[in-house]
């Protein structure tokens, strides 16, 4: 084995080996206290007589109850509801001469990662599918230390300076007088903030778009949001923005669907990620960078340090340099997902900060938050946070200290320990900050280059398809329709009249406000990369519901299942009730779910199997008709064969041979080419949604 391969194996396996020290399997073991003392009784506390008072000397009871009382740590103020997974990162193309970060220069490495996806506004108990920004944070366990890329599924943010972050979060959180609404921005304080802080306009366009309703964590982009620096061995700097591109493409739910899923399965995105990994459909995200030479910092009509601005990909292309694969679920949600501590200030040599004022504030906030949440300054010693690189410093003590430091020396410089540990020079891997020249007066202000709040919001609007624009308008109308103050509603319309007049007019007409004319930016440019309609489309890992009951055609079902599996599509058998069902030739099939415990909301497509008896039983159950109707209303692919077409008719779906395929309806009579049918079905599933349909009787 080569030296590189040996090193690769060490990095690949060391994090898992490290966690092995903390994994416990209780099967067949005797119960003990937390001190290792074997316990003889765990049902009854120690009492003075069988009906007497409990005695304070019952140390096992006190330890058990005390631990229970403290099982819940303070949840994150933002990003409280999250879900994580383990994986690895592989480099396609080394960034030689751009950055000295080793994990971005050695294509032989498999760098372990842990990723946490999250919502922002809601509490831990809120639903997965609310309209919200999604967190997308990645911890790289490199042999130079942990590197945290702490981002979102949108490339911009609501504010420009971290000073305003508490204000923004206070505004979007439930209102303090009644703690309502939970995990929702459709209320007065949030939109009052938007109307009075116009720097948020661009981000609001993203938040009102389908980007805030991801189909799954596996189908959403990730962005570092801020401008960072790459620094090479010679100390030369490039500005950089980070991107995660899902291999499955970027796709979303529709608004009606998200609200209903919140009731049917509030863990929808969590379950999707868990099930995908458990079934071997490992989520993959390609890693891209936008690079900008330092001398080009001021060549654009926007400030590259402004977190409310993106770098249009048509101006500064995204260079794909690697791929992340998530291939292992957590063993324990609390120990890993809940205790993982991210911080944008966790860096490795070759990566540094820019002067983005939002980023600068985060460098303080994250450490302060982790100390509060995780019980003190030793949160890095929790197994999920521990680096695979060795740790040697003079930090000591504090709550929950795990390291047992030997010897009397805990200071630098020293002679008793030979001045160990001592700083490593830059040439030996020591971190050195980029030597940027900084000068100026102390001032509380923002650069004039940050004052354009609307041009990129207009760019985003111009880049949307007609369907995406319709969804944005409807989102504004829904959100503002929940706002009680007419003044706030009017103020928001006034703000977005600067973005696009037609947008403001459509919002105003739905909320009882008046559109203000003649204020728009006049920007006519668009960026095709911003529209999800231009994303990758594939049927792989999509979920299909197969509606079937006694009397189905066994051979047909088998061939359809085989064709779907070959395309990487997951299928669930759904019947009127649980329990074995028999085909026309006596073959038995076991349904995965009953109509009562399932819903078309949870699937990407529906297939109605043929068979006279089967279809008659489905038609007799109104839930099957609702199942199909709702799938149609949410623009999903629906396939039906033979008598199965009668269920389409019962759901109000009119077949039109000239437009059925365009509308995502794959229909066949009793005599048909099964191969061609399944091929068309898979192709339709890959389209994600079919926007050209309307329910017709």
Residues with catalytic annotation?
A: 79, 152
Return the H-helix or E-strand segment holding 362.
helix 357-373
Contacts of 657 (CB under 8 A, 6+ apart): none
**Spatial distance between the Cα atoms of 276 and 540, rounded to a whole number of angstroms:** 11
Here the tokens at position 627 are 């199942």
**Spatial distance between the Cα atoms of 100 and 348, rounded to a whole number of angstroms:** 9
**Spatial distance between the Cα atoms of 572 and 545, rounded to a whole number of angstroms:** 5
Which residue has tokens 């890959």? Answer: 686
**Spatial distance between the Cα atoms of 531 and 62, rounded to a whole number of angstroms:** 58
Kind of pairing between the strands at 605-608 and 665-668: unpaired
At 629 the three-state DSSP class reads helix
**Spatial distance between the Cα atoms of 81 and 62, rounded to a whole number of angstroms:** 31
DSSP string, 531-554: -GGGS----TT-EEEEE--TTB-H
At 174 the three-state DSSP class reads coil
Going 496 to 500 to 501 to 502, the CA torsion angle's sign is negative
DSSP string, 55-90: PTT-HHHHHHHHHHHT-PPPPPSSS-SEEEEEEEEE
Question: Closest Cα partner for 550 from 574, 577, 578, 583?
Answer: 583
**Spatial distance between the Cα atoms of 23 and 683, rounded to a whole number of angstroms:** 44
Report in angstroms the alpha-carbon separations of 580 from 56, 67, 594.
56, 46, 11
**Spatial distance between the Cα atoms of 408 and 626, rounded to a whole number of angstroms:** 73
DSSP string, 381-433: GSGGG--SS----S----TT------SS--SSS-STTTT-S-PPPGGGT----
What is the maximal distance between C-alpha atoms in the chain? 90
Here the tokens at position 621 are 């159950």
Torsion-angle region of 103 (φ positive above 0: left; ψ -120 to 50: alpha; else: beta): alpha
**Spatial distance between the Cα atoms of 356 and 239, rounded to a whole number of angstroms:** 12
Phi then psi dihedrals of residue 6, to 5 deg? -60, -45
**Spatial distance between the Cα atoms of 423 and 652, rounded to a whole number of angstroms:** 74
Q: Is the peptide bond before 185 cis (omega within 30 degrees of 0)?
A: no
DSSP string, 122-169: S-TTS-TTSSS-EEEEEEEEEBTEEEEEEEESSSS-S-SSGGGHHHHH
CA 126 to chain centre: 15
**Spatial distance between the Cα atoms of 655 and 676, rounded to a whole number of angstroms:** 19
**Spatial distance between the Cα atoms of 77 and 403, rounded to a whole number of angstroms:** 29
C-beta of residue 130 within 8 angstroms of C-beta of residue 184: yes
């Amino acid at each position: 084995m080569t030296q590189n391969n040996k090193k690769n194996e060490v990095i690949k396996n060391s994090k898992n080996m490290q966690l092995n020290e903390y994994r416990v399997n209780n099967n067949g073991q005797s119960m003990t206290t937390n001190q290792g003392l074997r316990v003889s009784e765990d049902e009854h506390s120690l009492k003075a007589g069988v009906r007497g008072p409990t005695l304070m000397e019952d140390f096992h009871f006190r330890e058990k109850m005390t631990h229970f009382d403290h099982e819940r740590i303070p949840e994150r103020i933002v990003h409280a509801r999250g879900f994580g997974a383990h994986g690895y990162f592989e480099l396609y193309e080394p960034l030689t001469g751009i950055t000295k970060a080793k994990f971005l220069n050695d294509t032989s490495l498999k760098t372990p990662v842990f990723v946490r996806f999250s919502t922002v506004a809601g509490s831990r108990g809120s639903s997965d599918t609310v309209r919200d920004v999604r967190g997308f944070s990645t911890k790289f366990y490199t042999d130079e230390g942990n590197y945290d890329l702490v981002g979102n599924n949108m490339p911009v943010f609501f504010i420009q300076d971290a000073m305003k972050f508490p204000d923004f979060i206070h505004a979007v959180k439930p209102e303090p007088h009644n703690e309502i609404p939970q995990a929702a921005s459709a209320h007065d304080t949030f939109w009052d903030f938007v109307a009075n802080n116009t720097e948020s306009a661009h981000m609001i366009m993203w938040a009102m778009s389908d980007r805030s309703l991801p189909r799954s964590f596996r189908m959403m982009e990730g962005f570092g949001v801020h401008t960072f620096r790459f620094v090479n061995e010679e100390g030369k700097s490039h500005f950089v923005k980070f991107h995660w591109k899902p291999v499955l493409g970027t796709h979303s739910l529709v608004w009606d669907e998200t609200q209903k899923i919140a009731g049917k399965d509030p863990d929808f995105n969590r379950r999707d990620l868990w099930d995908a990994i458990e079934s071997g459909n490992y989520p993959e995200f390609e890693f891209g960078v936008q690079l900008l030479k330092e001398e080009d910092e001021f060549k654009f009509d926007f400030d590259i340090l402004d977190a409310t601005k993106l770098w249009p990909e048509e101006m500064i292309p995204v260079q794909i340099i690697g791929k992340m694969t998530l291939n292992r679920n957590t063993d324990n949600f609390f120990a890993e997902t809940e205790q993982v501590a991210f911080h944008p200030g966790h860096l490795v040599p070759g990566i540094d900060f820019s002067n983005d004022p939002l980023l600068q504030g985060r460098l303080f906030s994250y450490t302060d938050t982790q100390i509060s949440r995780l019980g003190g300054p030793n949160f890095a010693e929790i197994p999920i946070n521990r680096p695979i690189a060795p740790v040697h410093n003079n930090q000591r003590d504090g709550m929950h200290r795990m390291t047992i430091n030997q010897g009397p020396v805990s200071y630098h410089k020293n002679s008793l320990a030979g001045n160990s540990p001592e700083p490593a020079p830059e040439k030996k891997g020591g971190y050195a900050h980029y030597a940027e020249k900084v000068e100026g007066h102390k001032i509380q202000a923002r650069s004039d280059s940050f004052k354009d709040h609307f041009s990129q919001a207009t760019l985003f609007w111009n880049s949307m398809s007609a369907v995406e624009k319709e969804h944005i308008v409807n989102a504004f109308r829904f959100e503002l329709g929940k706002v009680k103050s007419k003044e706030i509603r009017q103020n928001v319309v006034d703000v977005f009249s600067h973005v696009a007049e037609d947008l403001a007019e459509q919002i105003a007409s739905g909320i009882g406000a008046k559109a203000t004319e003649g204020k728009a930016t006049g920007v006519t440019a668009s960026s095709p990369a911003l529209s999800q309609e231009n994303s990758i489309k594939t049927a792989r890992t999509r979920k299909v519901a197969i509606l079937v009951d006694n009397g189905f055609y066994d051979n047909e079902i088998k061939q359809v299942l085989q064709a779907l599996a070959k395309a990487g599509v997951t299928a669930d058998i759904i019947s009127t009730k649980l329990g074995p069902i028999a085909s026309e030739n006596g073959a038995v099939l076991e349904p995965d779910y009953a109509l009562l415990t399932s819903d078309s909301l949870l699937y990407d497509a529906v297939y109605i199997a043929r068979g006279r008896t089967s279809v008659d039983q489905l038609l007799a159950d109104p839930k099957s008709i609702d199942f199909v109707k709702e799938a149609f209303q949410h623009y999903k692919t629906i396939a039906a064969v033979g008598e199965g077409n009668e269920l389409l008719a019962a759901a109000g779906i009119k077949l039109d041979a000239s437009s059925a395929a365009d509308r995502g309806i794959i229909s066949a009579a009793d005599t048909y080419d099964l191969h061609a049918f399944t091929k068309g079905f898979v192709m339709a599933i890959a389209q994600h949604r079919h926007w050209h349909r309307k329910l017709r009787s």
